[in-house]
RNA sequence: GGAGGGUUAGCUCAGCCGGGAGAGCAACUGCCUUACAAGCAGUAGGUCACAGGUUCGAGCCCUGUACUCUCCACCA
C-alpha cells in the first residue's frame, strides 16, 4: 500500500509546512551555478498598505517564471525588495506620530528617522511574511531595502556621477508642489482630474488712458496677486497698440507690462492672458522669455504670504473668495462663467497641486533618454505585449527634466553640502564636514531624493553595484521584469535609462506587462471605494494555488482582469479535482517504486496507455512552448484541459477495470503509467500551483526531495503514438454517441444493452469492448464489419462506426426519427461545405495540400455517415 | 488634442502563424457510477459591434463608422 493523501483537499494543512521546508532546504537560493542565468528583481512594494492584488499578481507571475526556469536547469536568482522610501510612507509615519501628539519638528530629523526605521522593519517584515503565503520562491536572504546601506551607496554614487557629468543641476524652476505633503513632486506624480469650476472674466485698467481696459479671464483669481504681466499674441491686431503699454494691477496697484508672446492663442477667450510666473508653468516660461519678475504669493501650505496684508494667512480658496469679492466691489469683475477644467492633483494624497517656483534639483533628461529610446527601438529590450513599447517611447520622447528633490525626511538625503561662509557647493559621496575651500563647517542639503531615483537603480544596486560583485557579473543584466502597465513611466523607463547610463548595459531584456486586477464590477480597486480584495483572505478561503490559478488562467498579458468569487471557486474546484484524482491513483498503487521514462514498457502497452502518454507528451510540448513565449494563460488552459478532460474524465475511467485486476501484468503497467503521467503532470503544473503539486508529487512514488528542484518534463518523440491516438479517438467518439443517445432517450443507466459495433475498421475497436461495457453501459459488445439486422435497435452513428443498441422498445419512434433527421441535416451540411470547397479550383490549387486532403477526408467521412443515417431512417420508417 | 486597448454565448473572458467559433459561471435534463455533488453524463445558447476591402478562405489582416475604457498632453 502506497502513502495516501488526506481525504479532503485542505490547502491550509500543507501550504505553510511545505513553504517552511523549501526555505529550510535552501531551494530559494540560486542553483546550478555555471548554468545559464535567469534573474529577476521584485518591484519594491510600498509598505504603507496591506499586500494587495497587484502585488499578488506581480508575485505570482514572477514566481511562475522563476520556478519554471529553475526546473529547466537555469541558474535562477530572484531578488526581493520590500520597501522604498516614499511620500506615502512619510505621511503614514507623520499620521501615526500625530496620534501620539507629536510632530516631525518636535522630535527632529534624527528622531523621525529612528521611528521611520522602526516602522520600516515592522511593516517591511510583515509584507515579507505575506508574500511567503503566495509561495514566493525568491531568495529572502538577499532581501534589500532601497534604504539599505548597500543601495544607499549606489544612490550616492549615481548622484555624484550625474552631477559631475553635468546631468544633475540645481535651479529655481517651477515645479509641482503638494501643499498637503509639503514637497515637490515630479510630473509623473501629478494626476489630472476634471473638476467643475468657474471662469472669472476680469478687466485690468491701462495706465494713463481714458478708462481703457484690457479684458481677460482666469480660473484662479487668487493668482492675480502674483501677476507681473499680461500677454497677447504678437499677431493679434486687437491688441497691437497696447503691447509695451503698462497696466495697473487691480487690488495690488502694481504696474505691469503688456507683452507679446506666441504662447497666447488668439481665438481662446479674449486673446489676453494674465501672467503669473510663480504659479503657472506656462507663465513661468513666458516670464523667462520676457524677463518678468517672479513673485511668489503663496506659502508652502498654500496660504497668502504676508506681503499682501489684506489676504495674508488665508488659504488659497479663502483668498479666492475674498479677491473675487473685492474685484467685484472695485468694478474689475465683468462676469462669472461656469467652466469645467482639468486640475492637477497629488497622486498620493489627492490634494490639488500648486505650481510653485522653488530651488530644486533636476536631472537633465535629453542625453539619458536617447540610448533608452534606442534600446527599445532596436528590440534590445522587449515589451510583452509589444504595444506597450509605443507607450514607453512616447513618454521617453517627450520628457522634461526630472525634478528629483523632495522636501521629506524619509528618503535618501541629497549628497550635496553647502558652506554657509563662502557659499561653496560640494557634491560628494563621502560626507564632508568642512568646506574644502575655506575650511568652515558645511551643511548637508536637507532634501531627499525622489523614491523613483533609487528604485531606478534596483536591478543593479541590489546586486552590489557599484562594486563588481559576483552577483553582478553573473546575473546582470537581469532577464525579465514583471510589472503592471501603470508603472511603466514611473519605474520601467527610469530603470532603463539608469541601467544604460551607469552600467553601460540594459537592466533587463524582457518586460512582461500585466494588467490591473479590478473588482467584479470592473472598477479599479481602491481604498476609498473599499472594494479591494485581500489576497490573504482569498488564500485562507480557497488556498494559494487557487488564487494563483485564478490570476493566471484565462488571461493574456497586458489585459485587465476582473476578480470574482466564481473565478476563485472555479480555481479551487480545479485544485480539488486534482487532489481527488491523485487520491484515487494512490489508493490503487501497490508499491512505492518511482517510474521513470525508462521504466515504461513502451512496446507492450495497450492502446489506452499509449493514447494518454501521447496526449501527455503533446501537452508537455505545448506548455513549454507557451511558457517560453510568456503565454502563461494559454499554457495553464492546456494543462487544465489535459488534467480534467483527458486524464480524469477519460484515462482514469478507462483504466478502472485494470486497477481492480490485482496481480496481473496489465494492472502493473496501468499503475506505472498512472504514476508516470500524474507525477510528470504535477511537475508541469508546479510553477503555476506550487503547493498542491508538491504535496501530490511527494506522496506519489518519487525520486528526489522535491518537485521544485526536479527537472521540468521534456517532450519525447518516443511517446508520440498517432495510430493509437486515432484509434482511441474513434472509441471515445462511439462511447459519446451511445451516451448521448441514451441520455436523449432518457434510458436509465441500469438498463444495460448488448451493443453491435459495425465499422469498416474493426481493428480500431477490437479489444476495447470493455470500455463500452463500463462507459457506455453495455452488457456485451460485438464488433464487426458486416451490417447486421437492426430490427429492434436504435443506432448511434459516428464518422467511423455505427453502434446498434437494442432498445427500440424504450424509445418513441417519431422522436428517434426526428433525432436522426436532425443528424442527417448536419451531416449534409458538413458534406456540402467540404464539397463546395473542393469544387473551388482556387482552393484546391492554392490552399496547403494538408488542408485539401483534410477536406477530402471530411467529405468521405460525411458521406459515409450520411449513408448510415439514411439507412437508419429508412429502416425506422418501414417499421 | 495625441496614442493605445476593448466590442465573441445570459455573465466574465480565452481564441497562437488567416484554414470549419471555445472555456468557466449561469440555465435546462438525468445521475450518490469502486477518487471527486467543489462531482458525473448530456442539452441548449453566437449575424464574432457595423460597413466596405484584401484573400481560394477573415473573429484574426487593411480602411472607415459607432459605442466604450485607459494612458499621455493641459488653452489662461
Locate the DSSP E strands across A276-332.
Answer: none
pLDDT tier, A124 (very low <50, low <70, confident <90, very high otherwise)? confident
Cell of A748: 436509465
Cell of A495: 530603470
pLDDT, average across residues A710-733: 94
d(CA A552, C1' B11) / Å: 20
d(CA A613, C1' B30) / Å: 33
Q: Does residue A2 have a pLDDT over 80? A: no
Distance in angstroms (rounded) separating the CA atoms of residues A685 and A692: 9
Q: List all residues 6 or more positions away from A412 whose beta carbon is below 8 Å from its beta carbon.
A: A85, A147, A152, A155, A156, A448, A449, A453, A454
pLDDT, average across residues A782-794: 84
Cell of A671: 499503475
pLDDT, average across residues A567-595: 94
pLDDT at A49: 60
pLDDT, average across residues A109-120: 89
Distance in angstroms (rounded) separating the CA atoms of residues A435 and A420: 9
pLDDT at A823: 86
pLDDT, average across residues A616-642: 94
Q: Does residue A586 have a pLDDT over 80? A: yes
pLDDT at A10: 95
User: pLDDT tens digit string along A299-350?
Assistant: 999 999 999 999 999 999 999 999 999 999 999 999 998 888 888 988 878 8
A396 in contact with nucleic chain B (CB within 7 A): no
User: pLDDT tens digit string along A39-87?
Assistant: 999 876 666 667 888 889 999 999 999 999 999 999 999 998 766 677 8
A744 in contact with nucleic chain B (CB within 7 A): yes
d(CA A529, C1' B27) / Å: 33
Nearest protein residue to B38's C1' (by CA)?
A573
Locate the DSSP E strands across A87-189.
Answer: 144-145, 168-178, 183-185
Q: Does residue A606 have a pLDDT over 90? A: yes
**Pick from A311, A320, A236: nearest CA to A273:** A236
A395 in contact with nucleic chain B (CB within 7 A): yes
pLDDT tier, A168 (very low <50, low <70, confident <90, very high otherwise)? very high
pLDDT at A148: 78
pLDDT at A129: 86
pLDDT at A83: 64
Distance in angstroms (rounded) separating the CA atoms of residues A175 and A363: 13
Instruction: Mark the nucleotides of strand B covered by protein, meaning any atom under 7 Å from a CB.
Output: 2-6, 12-16, 19-20, 22-25, 29-31, 33-36, 38-43, 55-57, 71-76
A561 in contact with nucleic chain B (CB within 7 A): yes
Encode A775-836 in three state secondary structure.
Answer: HCCEEEEEEECCCCCCCCCEEEECCCEEEEECCHHHCCHHHHHHHHHHHHHHHHHHHHHHHH
What is the residue-averaged pLDDT of chain A?
Answer: 91
pLDDT at A266: 87
Cβ pair A42, A138 in contact under 8 A: yes
pLDDT tier, A355 (very low <50, low <70, confident <90, very high otherwise)? very high
Terminal Cα-to-Cα distance of chain A (whole angstroms): 57
Q: Does residue A529 have a pLDDT over 80? A: no
Q: Does residue A808 have a pLDDT over 80? A: no
Cβ pair A571, A546 in contact under 8 A: yes
**Pick from A145, A96, A155, A139: nearest CA to A124:** A145
A829 in contact with nucleic chain B (CB within 7 A): yes
pLDDT tier, A496 (very low <50, low <70, confident <90, very high otherwise)? very high
pLDDT, average across residues A446-450: 94
**Pick from A483, A485, A481: nearest CA to A506:** A481
Q: Does residue A526 have a pLDDT over 80? A: no
pLDDT tier, A425 (very low <50, low <70, confident <90, very high otherwise)? very high
pLDDT, average across residues A769-782: 92
Range 602-631, chain A: CB under 7 Å to any strand B atom: 626, 631
Cβ pair A114, A37 in contact under 8 A: no
Encode A570-611 in three state secondary structure.
Answer: HHHHHHHHHHHHHHHHHHCCCCCCCCCHHHCCHHHCCHHHHH
Q: Is A499 exposed, middle or buried (0-12, 13-18, 19+ CB in 10 A)?
A: buried
Encode A83-114 in three state secondary structure.
Answer: ECCCHHHHHHHHHHHHHCCCCHHHHHHHHHHH
d(CA A857, C1' B20) / Å: 13
Distance in angstroms (rounded) separating the CA atoms of residues A673 and A719: 12
Distance in angstroms (rounded) separating the CA atoms of residues A493 and A504: 15
pLDDT at A686: 97
Q: Does residue A699 have a pLDDT over 70? A: yes
Shortest-distance nucleotide from A831 CA to C1'? B20
Q: How many residues does chain A have?
A: 879
Question: What is the ipTM for the molecules in this complex?
Answer: 0.96
Least confident of A208-212, A353-357, A445-449: A208-212
Residue A71 Ramachandran class (φ > 0 left, ψ -120 to 50 alpha, else beta) = alpha
Respond yes or no on whether the N-terminal peptide bond of residue A477 is cis (omega within 30° of 0).
yes
Nearest protein residue to B5's C1' (by CA)?
A559
Q: Does residue A433 have a pLDDT over 80? A: no
Q: List all residues 6 or more positions away from A321 whose beta carbon is below 8 Å from its beta carbon.
A: none
Amino acid at each position: 500500500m502506497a502513502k495516501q493523501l488526506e481525504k479532503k483537499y485542505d490547502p491550509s494543512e500543507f501550504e505553510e509546512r511545505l513553504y517552511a521546508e523549501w526555505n529550510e532546504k535552501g531551494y530559494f537560493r540560486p542553483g546550478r551555478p555555471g548554468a545559464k542565468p535567469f534573474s529577476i528583481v521584485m518591484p519594491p512594494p510600498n509598505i504603507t498598505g496591506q499586500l494587495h492584488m497587484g502585488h499578488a499578481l506581480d508575485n505570482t507571475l514572477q514566481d511562475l517564471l522563476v520556478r519554471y526556469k529553475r526546473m529547466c536547469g537555469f541558474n535562477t536568482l530572484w531578488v526581493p525588495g520590500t520597501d522604498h522610501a516614499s511620500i506615502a510612507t512619510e505621511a503614514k509615519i507623520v499620521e501615526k506620530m500625530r496620534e501620539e501628539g507629536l510632530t516631525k519638528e518636535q522630535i527632529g530629523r534624527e528622531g523621525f528617522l529612528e521611528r521611520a526605521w522602526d516602522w520600516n522593519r515592522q511593516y517591511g517584515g510583515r509584507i515579507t511574511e505575506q508574500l511567503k503565503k503566495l509561495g514566493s520562491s525568491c531568495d529572502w536572504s538577499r532581501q534589500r531595502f532601497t534604504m539599505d546601506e548597500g543601495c544607499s551607496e549606489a544612490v550616492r554614487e549615481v548622484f555624484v556621477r550625474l552631477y559631475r557629468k553635468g546631468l544633475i543641476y540645481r535651479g529655481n524652476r517651477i515645479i509641482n508642489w503638494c501643499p498637503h505633503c509639503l514637497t515637490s513632486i515630479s510630473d509623473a506624480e501629478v494626476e489630472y482630474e476634471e473638476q467643475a469650476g468657474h471662469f472669472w472674466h476680469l478687466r485690468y485698467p491701462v495706465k494713463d488712458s481714458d478708462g481703457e481696459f484690457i479684458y481677460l479671464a482666469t480660473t484662479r483669481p487668487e493668482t492675480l496677486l502674483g501677476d507681473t504681466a499680461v500677454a497677447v499674441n504678437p499677431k493679434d491686431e486687437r491688441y497691437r497698440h497696447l503691447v509695451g503699454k503698462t497696466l495697473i494691477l487691480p487690488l495690488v496697484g502694481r504696474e505691469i507690462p503688456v507683452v507679446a508672446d506666441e504662447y497666447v492663442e488668439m481665438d481662446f477667450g479674449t486673446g489676453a492672458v494674465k501672467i503669473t510666473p510663480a504659479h503657472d508653468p506656462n507663465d513661468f516660461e513666458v516670464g523667462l522669455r520676457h524677463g518678468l519678475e517672479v513673485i511668489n504669493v503663496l506659502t508652502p501650505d498654500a496660504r497668502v504670504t504676508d506681503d499682501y496684508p489684506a489676504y495674508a494667512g488665508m488659504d488659497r480658496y479663502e483668498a479666492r473668495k475674498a479677491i473675487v469679492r473685492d474685484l467685484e466691489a472695485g468694478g474689475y469683475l465683468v462676469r462669472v462663467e461656469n467652466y469645467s477644467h482639468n486640475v492637477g492633483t497629488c497622486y498620493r494624497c489627492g490634494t490639488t497641486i500648486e505650481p510653485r517656483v522653488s530651488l530644486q534639483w533636476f536631472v537633465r533628461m535629453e542625453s539619458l533618454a536617447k540610448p533608452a529610446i534606442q534600446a527599445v527601438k532596436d528590440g534590445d529590450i522587449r515589451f510583452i505585449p509589444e504595444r506597450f513599447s509605443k507607450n514607453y517611447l512616447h513618454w521617453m520622447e517627450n520628457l522634461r527634466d526630472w525634478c528629483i528633490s523632495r522636501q521629506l525626511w524619509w528618503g535618501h538625503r541629497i549628497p550635496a553640502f553647502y558652506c554657509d561662509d563662502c557659499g561653496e557647493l560640494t557634491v560628494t559621496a563621502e560626507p564632508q564636514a568642512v568646506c574644502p575651500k575655506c575650511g568652515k563647517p558645511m551643511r548637508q542639503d536637507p532634501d531627499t531624493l525622489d523614491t523613483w531615483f533609487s528604485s531606478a537603480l534596483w536591478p543593479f544596486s541590489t546586486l552590489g553595484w557599484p562594486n563588481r560583485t559576483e552577483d553582478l557579473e553573473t546575473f546582470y543584466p537581469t532577464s525579465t521584469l514583471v510589472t503592471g502597465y501603470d508603472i511603466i513611466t514611473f519605474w520601467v523607463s527610469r530603470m532603463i535609462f539608469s541601467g544604460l547610463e551607469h552600467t553601460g548595459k540594459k537592466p533587463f531584456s524582457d518586460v512582461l506587462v500585466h494588467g490591473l486586477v479590478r473588482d467584479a464590477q470592473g472598477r479599479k480597486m481602491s481604498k476609498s471605494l473599499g472594494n479591494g480584495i485581500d489576497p490573504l483572505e482569498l488564500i485562507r478561503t480557497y488556498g494559494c494555488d487557487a488564487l494563483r490559478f485564478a490570476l493566471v488562467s484565462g488571461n493574456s498579458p497586458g489585459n485587465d482582469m476582473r476578480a470574482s468569487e466564481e473565478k476563485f471557486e472555479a480555481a479551487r474546484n480545479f485544485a480539488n479535482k486534482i487532489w481527488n484524482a491523485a487520491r484515487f491513483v494512490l489508493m490503487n498503487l501497490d508499491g512505492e517504486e518511482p517510474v521513470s521514462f525508462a521504466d515504461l514498457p513502451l512496446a507492450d502497452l495497450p492502446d489506452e496507455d499509449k493514447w494518454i502518454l501521447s496526449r501527455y507528451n503533446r501537452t508537455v510540448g505545448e506548455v513549454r512552448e507557451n511558457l517560453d513565449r510568456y503565454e502563461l494563460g494559454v499554457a495553464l488552459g492546456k494543462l487544465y484541459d489535459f488534467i480534467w478532460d483527458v486524464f480524469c474524465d477519460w484515462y482514469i475511467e478507462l483504466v478502472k477495470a485494470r486497477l481492480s485486476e490485482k496481480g496481473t501484468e496489465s494492472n502493473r503497467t496501468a499503475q506505472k503509467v498512472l504514476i508516470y503521467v500524474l507525477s510528470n503532470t504535477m511537475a508541469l503544473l508546479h510553477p503555476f500551483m506550487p503547493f498542491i503539486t508538491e504535496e501530490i508529487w511527494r506522496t506519489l512514488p518519487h525520486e528526489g526531495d522535491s518537485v521544485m528542484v526536479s527537472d521540468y518534463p521534456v517532450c519525447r518523440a518516443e511517446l508520440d503514438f498517432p495510430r493509437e491516438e486515432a484509434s482511441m479517438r474513434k472509441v471515445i467518439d462511439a462511447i459519446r454517441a451511445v451516451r448521448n443517445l441514451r441520455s436523449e432517450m432518457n434510458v436509465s443507466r441500469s438498463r444495460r444493452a448488448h451493443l453491435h459495433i459495425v465499422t469498416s475498421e474493426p481493428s480500431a475497436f477490437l479489444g476495447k469492448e470493455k470500455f463500452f461495457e463500463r462507459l457506455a453501459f453495455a452488457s456485451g459488445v460485438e464488433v464487426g464489419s458486416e451490417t447486421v439486422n437492426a430490427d429492434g435497435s436504435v443506432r448511434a452513428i459516428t464518422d467511423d462506426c455505427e453502434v446498434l443498441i437494442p432498445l427500440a422498445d424504450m424509445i418513441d419512434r417519431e422522436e428517434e426519427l426526428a433525432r436522426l433527421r436532425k443528424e442527417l441535416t448536419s451531416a449534409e451540411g458538413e458534406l456540402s461545405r467540404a464539397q463546395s470547397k473542393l469544387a473551388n479550383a482556387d482552393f484546391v490549387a492554392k490552399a496547403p495540400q494538408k488542408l485539401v486532403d483534410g477536406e477530402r477526408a471530411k467529405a468521405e467521412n460525411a458521406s459515409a455517415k450520411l449513408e448510415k443515417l439514411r439507412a437508419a431512417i429508412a429502416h425506422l420508417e418501414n417499421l
